[in-house]
């Protein structure tokens, strides 16, 4: 029986070496490359065509989203499992939309990673339990969240999108051609309607809800 060939892509040496060691102990797996550079990962994927690619999202200058797009073009037979510190379902949804076949967080236990590799290799989509739990909580709380979302005006949604992009109140005011004080009023109303305490909580809410 042929072994599953795997490439590990992560810009942290310790993480790459740890996963390479753990996966290498499994007779069914063969780690054929471990790289910390996105461009190099794309080239190796093109040349070696690994069965599975474990791809970290938070890399630079090329991030996991950009790397995934290129790998899908150059090595379409390789199945990508996104590995991330982010447990928000919106990240998993985006990676799956771009062509990833699995999503696990860095909180996932070793066995879950092994399960993900086998499931994805067999043609299935795999989402780790941590993300599934968050999705379940969101679904259960859906009725509570909808009233707040429905109360948002078009202008408030515009402000939310700009906050998500990292703009300050001054920058938002210039972008929308309104007064800074008006932006602050919008921010206050948004926090009140969505029942969150501050901007950090708002950003977490936006990421988690896919707003």
Confidence of residue 207 (pLDDT cuts 50, 70, 90): low
The string of pLDDT tens digits covering residues 66-81 is 999 999 999 999 999 9
Main-chain dihedrals φ then ψ at residue 152, nearest 5 degrees: -70, 135
Domains located in the chain, CATH noted = 4-136 (3.40.50.2300), 141-209 (1.10.10.10)
Mean pLDDT within 149-154: 70
Judged by phi (left if over 0) then psi (alpha if -120 to 50, else beta), residue 5 lies in: beta
The alpha carbon of 9 is separated from its chain's Cα centroid by a whole number of angstroms, namely: 15
Average pLDDT, the chain: 87
- Torsion angle defined by CA atoms of residues 185, 187, 193 and 197, in that order, rounded to the nearest 10 degrees: -120
Strand partners, 105: 84
DSSP state of 68: H
SS3 81: strand
Whether pLDDT at 145 is above 90? no
Looking up tokens 């771009």 gives 98
Backbone angles phi, psi at 55, to 5 degrees: -120, 115
pLDDT at 141: 56
Nearest partner of 51 among 71, 25, 22, 27, judged by Cα = 71
Mean of pLDDT values over 181-188: 92
Indicate the pLDDT class of residue 165, thresholds 50, 70 and 90: confident
Contacts 24+ apart (CB under 8 A), 166-173: none
pLDDT tens, residue by residue, 36-58: 999 999 999 999 999 999 999 98
Report d(CA 4, CA 39) in Å as an integer. Answer: 23
3 state SS of 45: helix
Count of residues making up the chain: 211
Beta-carbon contacts of residue 69 (< 8 Å; ≥ 6 apart)? 98, 99
For residue 88, what pLDDT is reported?
78
Q: How far is CA 96 from the centre of its chain?
A: 9
For residue 113, give the nearest of 44, 188, 29 by alpha carbon: 29
Q: What is the pLDDT of residue 143?
A: 46
Q: Which of 102-106, 125-129, 150-154, 175-179 has the lowest mean pLDDT?
A: 150-154
Distance of alpha carbon 107 from alpha carbon 45, whole angstroms: 26
């Amino acid at each position: 029986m042929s072994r599953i060939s795997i490439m590990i892509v992560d810009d942290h040496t310790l993480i790459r070496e740890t996963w390479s060691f753990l996966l290498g102990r499994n007779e069914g797996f063969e780690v054929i490359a471990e790289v910390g550079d996105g461009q190099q990962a794309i080239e190796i994927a093109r040349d070696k065509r690994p069965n599975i690619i474990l791809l970290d999202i938070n890399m630079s200058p090329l991030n996991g989203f950009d790397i995934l797009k290129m790998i899908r073009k150059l090595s379409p037979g390789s199945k990508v499992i996104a590995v991330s510190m982010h447990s928000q379902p919106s990240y998993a949804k985006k990676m799956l939309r771009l062509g990833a076949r699995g999503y696990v967080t860095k909180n996932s236990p070793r066995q879950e990673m092994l399960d993900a590799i086998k499931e994805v290799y067999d043609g299935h989509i795999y989402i780790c339990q941590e993300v599934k739990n968050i999705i379940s909580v969101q679904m259960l709380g859906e009725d509570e969240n909808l009233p707040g979302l429905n109360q948002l005006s078009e202008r408030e949604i515009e402000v939310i999108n700009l906050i998500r992009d990292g703009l300050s109140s001054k920058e938002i005011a210039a972008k929308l051609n309104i007064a800074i004080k008006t932006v602050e009023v919008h921010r206050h109303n948004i926090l009140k309607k969505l029942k969150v305490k501050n901007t950090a909580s708002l950003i977490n809410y936006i990421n988690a809800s896919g707003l």
